Chains A and B, each alone.
Chain A
């Protein structure tokens, strides 16, 4: 597994099985017609009332450690802000997932800094997957030196926790010229083998950096062979796909498969194909606005319930 032990009270994992969902101050997002819309603060706890036997975990994404341009000169500070929020949750999450672009330029010092700061999160494990910024010079080789702890030399893996089967994928390589990146045949075959041992009633959570549905092809915001992956997931009763890459919250539901993108912890990007912006580069926003566009996500898996409860929380309200 591409995880690491953060050394925070390893016995605590046993105590996590009866975690209730967190209902702190946050903004719940909904998406209608492709446009995310804030429903309002959840301080009252309405949308995700505390439930017994919920597995709760946090998703962070796109930390881009090493980025220091105008759009966010202090990405480490933004990550630490998020970590403070996570550590302050009234009920600690079981673990954290990072959906890619850990680093900005795939440099060893960036991976090292990221790993060092992520260890400040008070969870047992942080599961990571690579983004395209983590595979710039030598594929996943440099990334795996910091984020591969089972030594299988792959950036994809699966694990089970709280009755949920998690699949972490690498969909930032394997591209054909002029197209979007892909999972590739080897990984699709691995997925098929992996899923063969999982009952169709088991909730599945898939982690992949680039969205597993095509959001905006001219910017590479999609996965060339996502249809093959989704076909493998379709027989399962509850599938939740968590993506990063596009630095904003979008959602799509296809039958039993719900796909969600997350905010970044580094800088915002334009909306898909945004008029007047011809490319998916960092967007510099007025002072005081950045914290509203960066954030974390908390998820609760409730037994017997089809969909995961999601709360997206900006760094600053």
Chain B
């Protein structure tokens, strides 16, 4: 980087090209890796004290969310559009779902419908 920086002072056009390459590398390469085999980024969410925590979260497409029920009372993770739904989760049971496409996904616990959460899936 120090080389590019020093050259940039005298060759702005070449510097811009290098910068473009760096930017390409930053965005394209991880995308290629992701498409290949890299595990989906994972985010852990807690179900505790009759609440989803965090209640609202924003993630990139392809992210996997893993919910863990820490209560002694069973809960579910059930989306309002039926795109994902867990079975009843007993204490320490987990449910995971990978969000492939963009959108806002509201969900509830069907045992306790006052428990609500939302996952925002947006390119970042």
Contacts and interface: CB of A to CB of B under 8 A. Distances in A.
Interface of A: 69-71, 104-106, 132-133, 136-137, 175-181, 217-220, 278-282
B90 to A, nearest CB: 6
Interface residues of B, number: 21
Contacts of A69: 72, 91
Given A105-B90, A175-B113, A136 B49 contact: no
A177 B106 contact: yes
A281 B74 contact: no
Interface SS majority for chain A: loop
Nearest to A70: B72
B36 to A, nearest CB: 36
A177 B49 contact: no
8 contacts: A136-B87, A137-B88, A177-B113, A178-B113, A220-B112, A279-B71, A282-B72, A282-B73
Contacts of A105: 74, 88, 90
Given A137-B87, A279-B49, A279-B50, A179 B74 contact: no
Nearest to B88: A136
Nearest to B80: A177
Contacts of A137: 87-88
B111 A280 contact: no
Q: Which one of B74, B76, B112, B113 has the greatest number of beta carbons of chain A within 10 Å?
A: B113
State the 8 A-B residue pairs at the shortest beta-carbon distance, nearest first.
Answer: A136-B88, A279-B50, A175-B113, A279-B49, A69-B72, A220-B114, A282-B72, A178-B116
